[in-house]
A and B are shown apart, each in its own frame.
Chain A
Amino acid sequence: MTDTATRPGAPRILIPALLIALLGTIVTVALDTVLLWWAALIIGVVLAFAAVVLVDRRMPEAERTGASGTKEEGTTLHRTLVVPTALVLSVVSGLLLAWFLDLSLIEPVAAALGAFAGSAAALLLYRRLSAMLALSFAAVFAAGIIAIAVTALVLFFSGIAPGATFARMVEYGTRPNSLVQIINDGTTYYLAAVAVAIGFKMKLFNIGVDGQYRLAALMAAAVGGWLVLPPVLSQIVIILVAVAVGGAWAGIAGYLKVTRGVSEVISTIMLNAIATGITAYLLNTDRLAVEISTNNIGTPPLPEGSWIPGIPAAFLGSEREIFGLVLLAAAVGVGYAVMLNRTRFGFELRATGQSQSAAEASGVNVKKMVFLSMLFSGMVAGLVGMPQLLGSSHYYALDFPTGIGFIGIAIALLGRNHPVGIAFAALFWAFLNQAAGILPFDGIPQEIAVIAQATIVLTVVVVYEVVHRWGRRYQQQQIGKELGTTVAGPAEETAPTGAASDSGDGTGDDTPGTGRGGEAK
């Protein structure tokens, strides 16, 4: 039963993996001559997947990531959900990569590389995808479909053809220039969402990312504009100022929570309002600002030596540039993942988020954790304005983007606070924003994107939670079966201690057995 000790030997897997990936590639290349590239690729990857299923039995046992360690092969859930999800995911990943490469490479090469990646993914996913992870993907798929359906209904009742609208959005959203814009917006959103997610992991709601990044960006821009420093040093100083200001602003809320018990929801909302006031006060020609154009005032533009150069996006077929700070966002994501999963601080953070009482009994200084996580959240929030400031506008003016903090909350919810999930959510959000930009030209209200975004956040949160809960219960049943026990575990001592609802003619809403079920975010 306990088979975790033996890790599969890498070389024994490598050879069949290569063979399978080659199989998928060769089939794709061969079919590419007679079929459209994407049809060829789908067939190739599906064949590779079939090969994986056949070969898998002779390969060493795999460890499933995120699984709670039960044998999943052969269960109904595995057969009906995990395997199909793995298949769909490998095909989709192959298609996406091929499409992406197609922008800069010639088509047959792109298709071949996509097929290779898709086939390799087939092997990996079939062997490593756990039921829980598959459930998450399935939940996101389901939520996406519901959201699209709702949006389509709204369009339909407004007398607009949904199909044509969606087609138009996809077409516009995948143009090279749109792609650059999506990546740039996504970078900003990603930073905001990570800032929010750090708080969420501790069940802290940092609503104040918005005020934190605006204040931080203003201060950083002012420092960069007034204080002329040599290149490199200048950028570093600007970013450090932003981090410090964001952290300090969020730290106020953390301090109030720790010392006076002020709810961070209230204090961060208030701090947002105060930040708005302070920026309005400081952004005045008598103080930090200068006149930038006839209708606009802002901090003095940064000297060119303080800019951060963009990355040319020729590989996407676009003339425009991707923010150089996309690398910073990636680094923040990696840092967030490492912090969360590999450090003692991250462990204590998660422990406090899961059960404050257990953390306290284990010697975690909960107050310190609250303050520090608020501080870190604010420090990341301080970075939110940096890609824009250093990469594009070069000054903080009246037209500096606002409201990104709130978008960050939605994206953190959508990405389930997971570093990778947030990345996809941020790109998806930016895609909807960008793609909707074409709609006014067709006389379609642009707000359709907002409806889609709102629906998808709601559906993802609800569907994910429902599916996740169900999946966990299913898994517990599997464990129960495996152990073959018939002893009542959850029923003991969970006698409802809540309201006296079941003594009267109340609704009797106690759900025994799962009395302490997971908390919806």
Chain B
Amino acid sequence: MSSTPSGDGGQAPPAVELRGITKRFPGVVANHDINISVAPGTVHAIVGENGAGKSTLMKTLYGMHRPDEGTIHVNGRQVKFTSPSDAIRNGIGMVHQHFMLADNLTVLENVVLGAERLHGIGARARAEILRLSGQYGLGVDPDRLMEDLGVGDRQRVEILKVLYRGARTIILDEPTAVLVPQEVDELFDNLRELKREGLTVIFISHKLDEVLSVADEITVIRRGTTVATADPGTTTARELATLMVGGELPVPELRESTVTDRVVLSLDGVTVRSGDGRAVVDGVGIDIHEGEIVGIAGVEGNGQSELIEAIMGMRPVSSGRIRLGGQDITGWHTLKIREAGVGYIPEDRHRHGVLLESSLWENRILGHQTKRPSVRGPWIDRAGARADAERIVSEYDVRTPNIDVIADALSGGNQQKFIIGREMSGEPRFLVAAHPTRGVDVGAQSAIWEQLREARAAGLAVLLVSADLDELIGMSDTLHVILRGRLVAQADPTSVTPEQLGSAMTGAGLGGDGGTQTTEGGSGDDTADRDGGGA
């Protein structure tokens, strides 16, 4: 493995060089002593596990905050950025993980928005967009309405936006997180095109296979600092993984099947309509059994969130039935559903899972405010809630000084572990787990998987929604694919590959040996229930 300290090519000065960057945040040192040198005209990948400090570093480079220590050099010149516009002026542009595009505007309007002074907003701007699009092979049509575009196209518009503003170095923050495998390949073709035209790309990811296939040089970040620089030609994914986590990467997997034939949650033709009457969840039917984890795969925004909210009673069901243990819970209030033994790990824990400004023990009460031990009648049972919060902290290995700290002071992984501990208390029958390991560090990730496995062994039924295909395949007993609100395919997690799943997620069908529409009991017993795709 070649782990030279930093690129010392010799000829041209590095396009971007970071020296000794340290950035502290409330509660944490996000980056310390970062040294990276990016050669011009290359794709430079920065890899690290979730929470290693990659995004923080890139925000520093993009001028969104200033480093506490260290210097930034662009083309050999030392620069100081106080805002993103400074970075743009120095030819550095950034494509964020979450797109910042206005749906109701055209591509042209989105691109010129905020950069009207460059080429106006009319014919000149259009000509410039077409020129850039042609030069870099982006294939962007300036007159399409943004809401008509798919995720891959949107990303290309974001890249074009950056190019339009004159960037010579482009930062891509986890660009593949929202893409299915086929779109990833297209993106990589675009990146190679950019490179050929002499641009520099900084590519942030934690997916090692992707990094190895596209990068010219790889910098590994672990726990906020650069630990190595590697050459993709001579490094393997395994070696990178070891560098990233300082040990072996945990793999999500289930052991022997614990699926029983007792149905806990049964969805029957559940349809949810959005405000304008469109069916965002369309005739979904699933049975989830005791001891079974049912995974839902799908590109984000295909109705997963709405389905979960419908099950949790946060969104009205327009037709269909939801039954919990034989009891019809359709139209019940969230509180009643929770009291009936449903746990909920929300996809956005800051919005739905915790009160950031309240202490941990108060967060213990949240969502369980009618149940012991946190409440006695109409009164809060402080002692009970505190004792149980202590129990969660120790049983679920929540790293915190004590239970009086506010939730905001904890890292994402520890917040998530606390939420899981809370939702597992009171012995739920059924658990909705939406992206349970999103934004969580590796250690917490394997702990969370282990807790799900244990709960499953104890007879819990779980609905697992995730964007991480490896997690879905590894943790599910049964796997459904959701597309535009419908279950379009059922896959066997023991044999399906992420690529097959990805193609099913875009509507191309599973193809190959994944076994569309008909399933067999994955691991020993018969889990074949009603197939998805109901009209």
**Residues of A in contact with B (beta carbons under 8 Å apart):** 1-4, 67-71, 341-348, 350-351, 354-355, 357-358, 360-365, 472-473, 475-477, 479-480, 482-483, 485-493, 495-497, 499-508, 510-514, 516, 518
Given A344-B369, A476-B26, A476-B408, A505 and B115 contact (CB-CB distance below 8 Å): yes
B351–A506 contact, CB under 8 A? no
Q: Within the complex, which residue of B101, B115, B224, B314 is in contact with A360, where a contact is CB–CB below 8 Å? A: B314
Contact A486 B29 (CB under 8 A): yes
Q: Are B53 and A488 in contact (CB under 8 A)?
A: yes
Closest to A507 in B: B83
| 19 A-B contact pairs sorted by A residue (CB < 8 Å) | A4-B403, A350-B355, A355-B351, A361-B314, A363-B338, A364-B335, A475-B409, A476-B408, A479-B400, A480-B409, A485-B411, A486-B29, A488-B411, A489-B25, A491-B53, A492-B51, A493-B97, A500-B113, A505-B114
Partner of B409, one of A343, A360, A479, A514: A479
Knowing A365-B335, A479-B401, A506-B85 touch, does A488 contact B114 (C-beta < 8 A)?
A: no
Which B residues are in CB contact (< 8 Å) with A343? Answer: 378-380
Q: Is residue B437 within 8 Å, beta carbon to beta carbon, of the partner chain?
A: no
The interface stretch among B56-64, B182-190, B193-201, B482-490 is B56-64
Interface residues of B in 91-117 (CB under 8 A from A): 94, 96-98, 100-102, 113-115, 117
Q: Does B320 touch A at the CB level, under 8 Å?
A: no
Q: How far is the CA of A422 from the CA of B117 in the complex (A)?
A: 52
Contact: A361 with B312, CB < 8 Å? yes
What's the nearest-Cβ distance from chain A to residue B411, in Å?
A: 4
Q: Does B44 have its Cβ within 8 Å of any Cβ on chain A?
A: no
Judging by beta carbons under 8 Å apart, are B56 and A491 in contact? Answer: yes
Q: List the B side residues contacting A501 at CB < 8 Å.
A: 114
Closest Cβ neighbor of B344 among chain A residues: A361
Comparing B70-78, B134-142, B356-364, B458-466, the segment that makes contact with chain A is B356-364
Selected contact of A69 from candidates B63, B84, B224, B401, CB within 8 Å: B401
Given contacts A360-B314, A362-B366, contact A487 B355 (CB under 8 A): no
Tell whether, in the assembled complex, residue B365 and residue A347 are in contact, meaning their CB atoms are under 8 Å apart: yes
Most buried by B among A357, A365, A507: A357
Chain B residues contacting A365 (CB-CB under 8 Å) are 333, 335
Q: Which of B100, B336, B355, B406 contacts A68 (CB 8 A)?
A: B406
CA distance A487 to B56 in the complex (A): 11
Contact of B223 with A by CB under 8 A: yes
Interface assignment of B353: CB less than 8 Å from any CB of chain A: yes
Distance between Cα atoms of A505 and B55 in the complex (Å): 21
A2 cross-chain contacts in B, Cβ below 8 A: 401-402
Q: Provided the pairs A362-B366, A504-B113 are in contact, do residues A497 and B98 lie with their beta carbons within 8 angstroms?
A: yes
CB of B106 to closest CB in A, whole Å: 15
Q: Are B27 and A476 in contact (CB under 8 A)?
A: yes
A487 touching B357, Cβ below 8 Å: no
How many residues on the B side are at the interface (Cβ–Cβ under 8 A)? 93
Q: With A503-B114, A512-B64 given, is the CB distance from A490 to B404 under 8 Å?
A: no
Residues B64 and A516 in contact, CB atoms below 8 Å apart: no
B119 touches A (CB below 8 Å): no
- A495 to B59 CA separation, bound complex (whole angstroms): 9
Q: Does B173 contact A (CB under 8 A)?
A: yes
**Given contact pairs A342-B379, A503-B100, A363 touches B333 in the complex (Cβ within 8 A):** yes
Contact B409 A68 (CB under 8 A): yes
B466 to chain A, nearest CB (A): 15
* Proximity string of chain B (420-452) to chain A, C-beta cutoff 8 Å, 1 when within and 0 when not: 000000000000000000110100000000000
With contacts A357-B351, A485-B399, A500-B100 taken as known, whether A347 is within 8 angstroms of B380 at the C-beta atoms is yes
Contact present for A485 and B380 (CB under 8 Å): no
Nearest Cβ in chain A — how far from B465, in angstroms?
15
Contact of B64 among A68, A358, A502, A514 (CB under 8 A): A502
Complex: A497 Cα to B403 Cα, angstroms: 31
Q: Nearest B residue to A504 by beta-carbon distance?
A: B114
Within 8 Å by CB of A503, from B27, B161, B337, B402, lies: B161
- Whether A4 touches B404, Cβ cut-off 8 Å, given contacts A348-B369, A361-B344, is yes
In whole angstroms, how far apart are the Cα atoms of A507 and B380 in the complex? 46
Determine the distance from Cα of A348 to Cα of B375 in the docked complex, in whole angstroms. Answer: 12
Q: Find the A residue at minimum CB distance from B410.
A: A489
Assuming A344-B380, A513-B26, is B85 touching A492 (CB within 8 A)?
no
Q: Which residue of B lies closest to A513 (CB)?
A: B25
Q: Are A479 and B27 in contact (CB under 8 A)?
A: yes
Residues of B within 8 A of A (CB): 24-32, 50-53, 55-56, 59, 62-65, 83-85, 88, 94, 96-98, 100-102, 113-115, 117, 161-162, 165, 173, 223-225, 312-314, 333-339, 344, 346, 350-359, 362, 365-370, 375, 378-380, 382, 399-406, 408-413, 438-439, 441
| B63 neighbours in A (Cβ, 8 Å) | 508
> What residue of chain B has the Cβ atom nearest to residue A490's Cβ?
B25
Q: Nearest 9 A-B pairs (CB), nearest first?
A: A504-B114, A363-B335, A69-B404, A476-B26, A508-B83, A362-B367, A489-B411, A480-B27, A491-B56
Cβ–Cβ contact B353 & A358, under 8 A: yes
Given the contacts A355-B351, A479-B401, A488-B56, A495 and B173 also touching, CB distance less than 8 Å: yes
Identify the closest chain B residue to A498 (Cβ). B100
Report chain A residues within 8 Å CB of B350: 516
Q: For residue A71, which residues in chain B have a CB less than 8 angstroms away from its CB?
A: 401
Chain B residues near A486: list those with CB within 8 A: 28-30, 32, 223-225
Given known contacts A2-B401, A488-B53, A492-B50, A363 and B30 CB-to-CB distance under 8 angstroms: no
Query: Is A487 within 8 A of B26, CB to CB?
Result: no
Q: Are A351 and B28 in contact (CB under 8 A)?
A: no
Docked-complex contact B353 and A490, CB < 8 angstroms? no
| Nearest-Cβ distance from residue A516 to partner chain B, whole angstroms | 6
Contact across chains for A508 and B85 when beta carbons are under 8 A apart: yes
Which A residues are in CB contact (< 8 Å) with B83?
502, 507-508
CB pair A361 B346 closer than 8 Å: yes
Question: Per a CB cutoff under 8 Å, which of B28, B365, B406 touches A485?
Answer: B28
Asked if A350 and B358 sit within 8 Å, CB to CB, the answer is yes
A473 nearest in chain B by CB position = B26
Q: Give the chain A neighbours of B411 by CB distance below 8 A.
A: 485, 487-489
A487 close to B334 (CB less than 8 A): no
Establish whether residues A344 and B375, one from each chain, have CB atoms under 8 Å apart when the complex forms: yes
Cβ of B359: which chain A residues have Cβ within 8 Å of it? 68
Determine the distance from Cα of A476 to Cα of B409 in the docked complex, in whole angstroms.
5
CA distance A350 to B438 in the complex (A): 28
Which residues of chain A have C-beta atoms less than 8 A from B64's C-beta? 496, 502, 508, 510, 512
Known contacts A343-B378, A362-B367, A495-B173; A505/B85 CB under 8 A: yes
What residues on A are CB-neighbors of B375 within 8 Å? 344
B223 to A, closest residue via Cβ? A486
A69 and B165 contacting across the interface, CB-CB below 8 Å? no
Q: In the complex, what residues of B have CB within 8 A of residue A490's CB?
A: 25-28, 30
In the complex, the answer to whether B26 meets A472 with C-beta atoms within 8 Å is: yes
Cβ of B409: which chain A residues have Cβ within 8 Å of it? 68, 475-476, 479-480
Nearest residue, chain B, Cβ from A475: B409
Most buried by B among A363, A475, A510, A512: A363
Is the beta-carbon distance between A480 and B26 smaller than 8 angstroms? yes
Residue of chain A at shortest CB distance from B88? A505
Which chain B residue shows the least CB distance to A510?
B64
Contact B51 A487 (CB under 8 A): yes
* A497–B351 CA distance with the chains assembled, in angstroms: 14
Q: For residue A471, give the distance in angstroms from its CB to the closest CB of chain B.
A: 11
Chain A contacts for B312, CB-based, 8 A: 361
Q: Are A344 and B379 in contact (CB under 8 A)?
A: yes
Can you name the residue of chain B whose Cβ is closest to the Cβ of A1? B401
Question: Closest Cβ of chain A: how far from B352's Cβ, in Å?
Answer: 4
Contact status B31-A488, CB under 8 Å: yes
What would 10 more interface pairs be, CB under 8 Å, given A493-B412, A505-B114? A347-B380, A351-B366, A358-B355, A361-B346, A479-B400, A485-B27, A486-B30, A486-B224, A502-B94, A504-B114
- Pairwise interchain contact B27-A477, C-beta atoms closer than 8 A: yes
| Minimal beta-carbon separation of B252 from chain A (angstroms) | 20
User: Which one of A354, A483, A485, A513 lies within 8 Å of B358 (CB-CB)?
Assistant: A354
B82 and chain A: residue at smallest CB distance:
A508
CB < 8 Å neighbour of B28 from A488, A504, A506: A488
